């Protein structure tokens, strides 16, 4: 297992933003991972760093990165995957076995652990539709536990994992057989949508900035509030979809938070709706960032 101190995390984040982490661990299997979880008292677990705003000031704690945990197995219509398996990879592999249900993962730059954590979804599909059970680490008891789908408290971009008590180790899915041409059509539709509407990672971003309010779209609200015109020195709102922020090259975490607050206030002023961030802030905050986070997050950030 690789262990690195004073590690520059910026190249690993999809925003290409982030400072130095005191210590970062790269477990390669479940045994190494669970050993770390029992040993460390202060840690944050991350996958592809694709839905996070990582502090430019770094993090004076421990990060466990799961991306070296790549094991998965397909048995009939059942799929078993470690938390670090890349979403597009597992989507492609099951499609090769004529299995449907994970087509939506083909365009997501995350891992299975993150997908389960936030009940990821797109185009009418989501993790809750196909998940059977999860193998979790209980941070309170330091034991491995299993939860069935009905125990995961899934809702829109939410699961029991939001409580912070559990860490995803692996997940089991039940898929359905389908004609290859049907699966391919779904995957192509998902990829084409992302290519035409959403920014690619060539324009560093961390996915959707805000969650959709009930029965509405954050992108629609932001568009109507004029957010597509928001363009600051180092960050801007994507001109094809108002719910994405792009790093223009030298952005800091504070730059992103400032633009998020501008977007948040625009929707609040026009519709009296307070959007909820989908992206999670991680790391050590400056005084200014503390103020900005207090506006945006009514729940805790990861620190």
Which of these, 18, 50, 88, 48, lies nearest to 205 by C-alpha position?
Answer: 50
Is 168 in a helix, a strand, or coil? strand
Do the Cβ atoms of 54 and 13 come closer than 8 Å?
Answer: yes
Torsion angle defined by CA atoms of residues 293, 294, 297 and 298, in that order, rounded to the nearest 10 degrees: 170
Q: Exposed, middle or buried: residue 57 (CB in 10 Å: 0-12, 13-18, 19+)?
A: middle
Do the Cβ atoms of 15 and 279 come closer than 8 Å?
Answer: no
State the Cα–Cα distance between residues 60 and 41, nearest whole angstrom.
Answer: 13
- What positions carry a catalytic annotation? 157, 208, 278
């Amino acid at each position: 297992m690789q262990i690195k101190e004073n590690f520059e995390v910026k190249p690993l984040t999809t925003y290409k933003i982030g400072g130095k982490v005191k210590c970062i661990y790269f477990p390669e299997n479940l045994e190494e991972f669970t050993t770390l979880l029992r040993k460390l008292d202060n840690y944050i677990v991350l996958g592809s760093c694709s839905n996070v705003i990582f502090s430019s000031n770094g993090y004076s704690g421990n990060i466990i990165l799961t991306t070296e945990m790549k094991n998965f197995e397909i048995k009939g219509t059942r799929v078993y995957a470690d938390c670090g398996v890349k979403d597009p990879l597992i989507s492609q592999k099951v499609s090769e076995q004529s299995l449907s249900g994970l087509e939506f993962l083909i365009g997501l730059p995350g891992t299975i652990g993150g997908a389960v954590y936030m009940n990821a979804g797109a185009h009418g599909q989501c993790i809750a539709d196909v998940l059977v059970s999860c193998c979790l680490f209980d941070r309170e008891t330091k034991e491995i536990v299993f939860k069935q789908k009905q125990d995961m408290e899934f809702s829109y971009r939410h699961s029991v994992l939001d409580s912070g008590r559990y860490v995803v180790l692996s997940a089991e899915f039940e898929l359905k057989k389908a004609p290859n041409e049907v699966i391919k059509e779904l995957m192509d539709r998902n990829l084409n949508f992302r290519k035409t509407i959403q920014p690619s990672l060539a324009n560093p971003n961390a996915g959707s900035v805000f969650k959709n309010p009930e029965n509405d779209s954050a992108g629609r609200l932001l568009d109507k509030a004029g957010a597509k015109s928001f363009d600051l020195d180092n960050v801007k709102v994507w001109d094809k979809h108002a719910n994405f922020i792009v790093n223009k090259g030298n952005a800091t975490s504070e730059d992103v938070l400032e633009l998020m607050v501008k977007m948040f206030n625009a929707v609040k002023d026009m519709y009296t709706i307070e959007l909820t961030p989908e992206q999670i802030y991680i790391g050590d905050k400056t005084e200014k960032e503390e103020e900005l986070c207090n506006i945006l997050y009514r729940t805790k950030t990861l620190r």
